[in-house]
Amino acid sequence: MALRDKYKALIDATSGISDLAIREIDGILYIDGTAADGATKDHLWEVYNQIDPNFTSGDLVLNVNVAIDAAVTHAKVITESSNLNIRKGPGTDQPIVGKAAHGEVITLVNRSNDLWWLVRTKDGEEGYCYAQYLEAQA
């Protein structure tokens, strides 16, 4: 099955993504772009989860960030003492793309669900953190 066929539902869900680039290289489908808000990015992950529930295929790179002006609030990292992992997608099986220090205040882009929130660090790293280690700030 061709990757564009396998991920047709995901590609169809990218209609709200600006700077969209979809390409296939060496058996991997790359989807890049910018979402207008966190909910749009979360929707892409939900569609991907329906296609590959365990995120184990290894044949897709979903590299969609949220537009800077979509950030509306902040969250404080409330881990015991260690850094908080920031992951590419909502799940512990997703690769770590950055870390936020204990006590650091980061931008809360979207409260994706009760378990995972979409965040951005002051260095521009964007990804998902386990919500129990974050405290929303005004």
List of residues 6+ apart from 96 with CB closer than 8 A: 85, 86, 87, 88
- Of 67, 88, 111, the last residue of a domain is 67
Continuous segment of H or E residues that includes residue 47: helix 38-51
Per-residue confidence (pLDDT) for residue 136, from 0 to 100: 83
Could you tell me the pTM of the whole model? 0.62
- Identify the domain containing residue 38 by its residue range: 3-67
Q: What's the pLDDT tens digit per position in 15-25?
A: 889 899 999 99
Count of the separate structural domains present in the chain: 2
Assess whether pLDDT exceeds 70 at residue 84.
yes
Question: Shortest CA distance to 86 belongs to which of 72, 107, 69?
Answer: 107
The single residue listed with the structure tokens 């790359």 is 30
Question: What CATH number is associated with residue 129?
Answer: 2.30.30.40
Position 1 scores a pLDDT of: 64
Band of pLDDT at residue 68, cut at 50, 70 and 90:
low
Q: What is the mean pLDDT of the chain?
A: 88
Residue 72 has pLDDT above 80, yes or no: no
- Residue 120 identity (one-letter amino acid): R
CATH number of the domain to which 37 belongs: 3.30.70
